[in-house]
Amino acid sequence: MILHTVFLPAVFSDIVAVDLPASFEMADISFLFFLLMCFTSVNGQSLESIPSSPVTKKPGETLNLSCKGSGFDFGQYSMHWIRQSAGQTFIWMGVIWYDASKTVYAKSVEGRIEITRDNSNSMVYLKLSGLTTEDTAVYYCARHTVMQTSTELYKNKPPPPNNNSRWRCSTVQL
């Protein structure tokens, strides 16, 4: 049996900001539905896949993917890995903090996944071991952006929600 793992067949160049609820937490995977809306272009900021062609692996093998950022200050952003199997929705796999001080992984891949980064070269890496046929997918890296964070205590009524927390995610046009 052979796994056909497709990873980013072209250069990412499409970025969109999507509002997130104020109660959003980094480990919360509910943001996956927002990733479906990532199809508008902005300012030449990009994420490029390495390799940029399909990868074929056998069950039990290890997948190593790389993603290079450009057009933005890579070291200031947490980076996520997501994937999409044929006919399925996007599945969040994990995140690495901007300074590599912390990683959070989805339970579905925990124990098989490792995300690392090299800020000096604007690179983020995914290592997924013990591959199965369920790992056949298109893999994406995505940049996380938080424009403002704060914690405030209100005696009476809190102010209305604002639009300060946003996702910036990337996708390819085939």
Question: What is the tens place of the pLDDT at every residue in 27-61?
Answer: 333 333 233 223 223 455 666 666 667 888 899 99
pLDDT digits (tens, 9 = 90+) for 82-96: 999 888 999 999 999
- The domain ranges of the chain are 3-171
**pLDDT tens, residue by residue, 52-111:** 678 888 999 999 999 988 888 899 999 999 999 888 999 999 999 999 999 999 999 999
Whole-model pTM: value is: 0.62
- CATH, domain range 3-171: 2.60.40.10
In angstroms, the CA 170 to CA 46 distance is 8
Question: Two tokens at 11?
Answer: 């250069």
